[in-house]
């Protein structure tokens, strides 16, 4: 099927399951990876993916093709779901994973033991959410600044400045991790 | 290599590593099940709205063609019927402690919801007629009340307010308390 995302969405909202399934298969990977890279949890990423597409069914009629891509619209929904989840987790018993991330020295020790990709993943996960989301969208998901701005509901300039700041923070974290590895 | 380049390379490596990550098939199955449920709800909602519209049309026709049999103020609340009677006590029997007339509670007492508007009419509604009809429970869902989807086809009593111009203006639902 060569329909655009917007056409598939319209057909899906009219009740055609095959159109919705096609749209899901086309876009689920990006949403799932975004949630996974934002939370570091496979289970949460699955829940976020499911909730994002079900929300699309109720809010999809608000999508305007002229204002941005459907991918950006989906990232916007997924981002809200992730943020709600992260806020909720603040008030619940932290998991082992969260405790590790909360303590910088543990992250440092852990970094010395893991492969470089996992080091980078942990460094990204240890960023504050507002910086993490721009890194995940622009650097890991290859979203354009415009799409990121639409998803995050902020100006493009804000995306750029947050991204610069986030990369600076990551550089410091990775430097510390490298130093620890060399010493170890 | 500058630190910025190092960061970019590191992020590129992570992006490349995760590129094949996808939601498992079970998520797709759950999402498609959700799609079917939502479609069913939308369909029943549409049926509900049509049911109200048809009921309203029937009511309007009845009002126009039949003499007005019953006129009630718009906000009248139906009072439960209380039957009163006296207890006759034979003289030879022992004294009865309680002599006050007894009331018999009706088996079922009506509970009504608030009125839900059916039209956006700007005409004043000082007086109207209240007609009792039976509609599918999905009509309750169509005005935003929570209804178990398994019970959408069950019939419920409802009061439809018909304005003096003959249009169904509002609806409320009637339940019964034992």
The confidence score (pLDDT) of residue A100 equals: 44
Considering its fold, how many domains does chain A have in total?
Answer: 2
What pLDDT tens digit does each residue of chain A (184 aa) get? 588 999 999 999 998 999 999 999 999 999 999 999 999 999 999 999 999 999 999 999 999 988 899 999 999 999 999 999 888 876 554 444 444 444 455 554 544 445 678 889 999 999 999 999 999 999 999 999 999 999 999 999 999 999 999 999 999 988 887 777 666 6
CB contact at 8 A, B136 and B154: yes
Question: Token digits for B117?
Answer: 């508007």
The confidence score (pLDDT) of residue A177 equals: 73
Q: Are residues A3 and A86 in the same domain?
A: yes
Instruction: Give contacts of B40 with chain A, Cβ < 8 Å.
Output: none
Residue of chain B with shortest Cα separation from A142:
B15
Q: Is B1 on the interface with A (CB under 8 A)?
A: no
The Cβ-side half-sphere exposure at B152, using a 13 Å CA radius, reads 19
Please answer yes or no on whether B18 and A46 come within 8 Å at the CB atom.
Answer: no
* Structural domain range at position B62: 20-72+107-177
pLDDT, tens digit (0-9, with 9 covering 90-100), for A14-45: 989 999 999 999 999 999 999 999 999 999 99
The confidence score (pLDDT) of residue A184 equals: 60
* Structural domain range at position A51: 1-92
Considering its fold, how many domains does chain B have in total?
Answer: 1
Question: Token digits for A74?
Answer: 């989906």
Q: Are residues A129 and A156 in the same domain?
A: yes
Nearest to A139 among B15, B17, B31 (CB): B15
The confidence score (pLDDT) of residue B85 equals: 39
Which regions in chain B score pLDDT beneath 70?
A: 1, 66-107, 120-123, 178
Instruction: Give contacts of B27 with chain A, Cβ < 8 Å.
Output: 28, 32, 46, 49-50
Q: How many CB atoms lie within 10 A of CB B30?
A: 17
The confidence score (pLDDT) of residue B118 equals: 78
Please answer yes or no on whether A171 and B34 come within 8 Å at the CB atom.
Answer: no
Does B79 reside within a domain? no
Q: Are residues A111 and A81 in the same domain?
A: no
Q: Is B28 on the interface with A (CB under 8 A)?
A: yes
Q: What is the mean pLDDT of chain A?
A: 86
ipTM above 0.85, yes or no: no
Instruction: Give contacts of A135 with chain B, Cβ < 8 Å.
Output: 11
Please answer yes or no on whether A29 and B15 come within 8 Å at the CB atom.
Answer: no
- Here the CATH number for the domain that contains residue A62 is 1.10.1740.10
- Here the CATH number for the domain that contains residue A119 is 1.10.10.10
CB contact at 8 A, A121 and A37: yes
Please answer yes or no on whether A24 and B28 come within 8 Å at the CB atom.
Answer: yes
Nearest to B13 among A33, A117, A135 (CB): A117
Does B37 reside within a domain? yes
Does B34 reside within a domain? yes
Instruction: For residues B175 and B131, give the distance between their C-alpha atoms in angstroms, rounded to a whole number.
Output: 15
């Amino acid at each position: 099927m060569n329909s655009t995302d917007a056409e598939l969405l319209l057909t899906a909202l009219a009740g055609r399951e095959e159109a919705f399934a096609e749209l899901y298969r086309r876009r689920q990977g990006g949403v799932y990876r975004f949630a996974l890279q934002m939370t570091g949890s496979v289970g949460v990423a699955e829940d976020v993916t499911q909730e994002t597409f079900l929300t699309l069914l109720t809010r999809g009629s608000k999508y305007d093709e002229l204002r941005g891509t459907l991918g950006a619209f989906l990232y916007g929904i997924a981002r809200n779901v992730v943020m709600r989840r992260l806020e909720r987790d603040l008030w619940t018993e932290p998991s082992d994973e969260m405790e590790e991330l909360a303590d910088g020295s543990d992250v440092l020790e852990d970094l010395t033991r893991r492969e470089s990709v996992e080091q980078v993943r942990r460094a990204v996960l240890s960023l504050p959410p507002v910086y993490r989301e721009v890194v995940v969208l622009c650097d890991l998901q290859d979203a354009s600044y415009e799409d990121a701005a639409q998803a995050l509901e902020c100006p493009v300039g804000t995306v750029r400045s947050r991204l610069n700041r986030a990369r600076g923070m990551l550089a410091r974290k990775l430097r510390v991790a490298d130093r620890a590895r060399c010493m170890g | 290599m500058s630190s910025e380049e190092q960061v970019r390379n590191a992020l590129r490596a992570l992006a490349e590593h995760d590129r094949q990550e996808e939601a498992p098939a079970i998520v797709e199955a759950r999402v498609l099940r959700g799609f079917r449920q939502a479609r069913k709800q939308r369909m029943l909602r549409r049926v509900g709205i049509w049911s109200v519209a048809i009921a309203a049309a029937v009511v309007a026709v009845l009002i126009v063609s039949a003499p007005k049999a019953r006129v009630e103020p718009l906000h009248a609340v139906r009072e439960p019927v209380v039957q009163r009677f006296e207890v006759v006590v034979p003289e030879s029997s022992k004294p009865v402690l309680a002599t006050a007339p007894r009331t018999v509670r009706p088996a079922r007492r009506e509970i009504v919801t608030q009125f839900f508007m059916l039209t956006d009419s700007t005409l004043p509604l000082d007086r109207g007629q209240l007609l009792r009809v039976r509609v599918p429970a999905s009509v309750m869902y169509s005005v935003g009340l929570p209804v178990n989807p398994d019970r959408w086809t069950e019939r419920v009593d409802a009061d439809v307010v018909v304005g003096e111009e003959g249009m169904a203006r509002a609806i409320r639902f009637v339940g019964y308390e034992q």
